[in-house]
Amino acid sequence: MMRVLVILAAAVALVSPAAASQRHPTQHELESELICPTCHTTLDQSNAPVAQQMKALIGQRIAAGDTKSQIEARLVAEYGRSVLAKPDTKGFDLLAWVLPIAGVVAGGIAVGIAAWRWSSRRDASSPADAEPLDPELEQLVDEELRRLEP
């Protein structure tokens, strides 16, 4: 029960800033999430004339009280979906969200399996199970080690 309450509290804490960002976006926030159609970099990195126009429009719409969604919708209507820096969450674009997560999970599984195999192989060939050295060979090794000691 306590675990559920902690999860709900964390969810509420994360939703509140996201909702505030939606209602009152900042110029920098939008400029970092939108792409210049000319140079294909984010607006905050672009000085192209079309990027300057988009920045001016963003400033005007923020001053008019538009939400983040409204501003993005207007820019998408004017310049196309390619102005959004983040891919869509449906259709083929969903792969851009799923593949990195799947790659990390698959890599973690592969490392886990490799570590498990390595450790189980190591246990099977422990020195306690090895055959003892021939007494003559063991004596030669001991003599060589004594000779190397300072």
For 89-147, the DSSP string reads: SSGGGGHHHHHHHHHHHHHHHHHHHHHHHHHHHHHHT-GGGSPPPPHHHHHHHHHHHHH
In this structure, the answer to whether residues 59 and 108 fall within a common structural domain is no
In this structure, the answer to whether residues 126 and 67 fall within a common structural domain is no
33-42, 88-97, 125-134: least confident range: 125-134
Contact 31, 44 (CB under 8 A): yes
Mean pLDDT score, 94-117: 90
Question: Is 13 domain-assigned?
Answer: yes
12-16, 48-52, 89-93, 130-134: least confident range: 12-16
In this structure, the answer to whether residues 40 and 113 fall within a common structural domain is no
In this structure, the answer to whether residues 67 and 120 fall within a common structural domain is no
Question: Is 92 domain-assigned?
Answer: no
Mean pLDDT score, 101-107: 94
The CA angle 132-138-144, to the nearest 5 degrees, is 150
The number of distinct structural domains making up the chain is: 2
Contact 23, 12 (CB under 8 A): no
Q: Residue 15: which pLDDT band, with cuts at 50, 70 and 90?
A: very low
Question: Is 21 domain-assigned?
Answer: yes
In this structure, the answer to whether residues 73 and 119 fall within a common structural domain is no
The CA angle 97-102-107, to the nearest 5 degrees, is 140
- What is the model's pLDDT at position 6? 59
For 36, residues 6+ apart whose C-beta sits below 8 A from its C-beta are 42, 43, 46, 48, 50, 51, 54, 83
pLDDT one-digit tens code per residue, 46-94: 888 998 999 999 999 999 998 998 999 898 898 888 888 876 767 777 7
Question: Is 93 domain-assigned?
Answer: no
CATH number of the domain that 59 lies in? Answer: 1.10.8.640
Question: Is 118 domain-assigned?
Answer: yes
Q: Is the pLDDT of residue 119 over 60?
A: yes
Q: Is the pLDDT of residue 104 over 50?
A: yes
In this structure, the answer to whether residues 17 and 64 fall within a common structural domain is yes
**Tokens at residue 4, please?**
């559920």
- What is the model's pLDDT at position 86? 78
Question: Is 16 domain-assigned?
Answer: yes
Question: Is 18 domain-assigned?
Answer: yes
Domain containing 23 equals 2-86
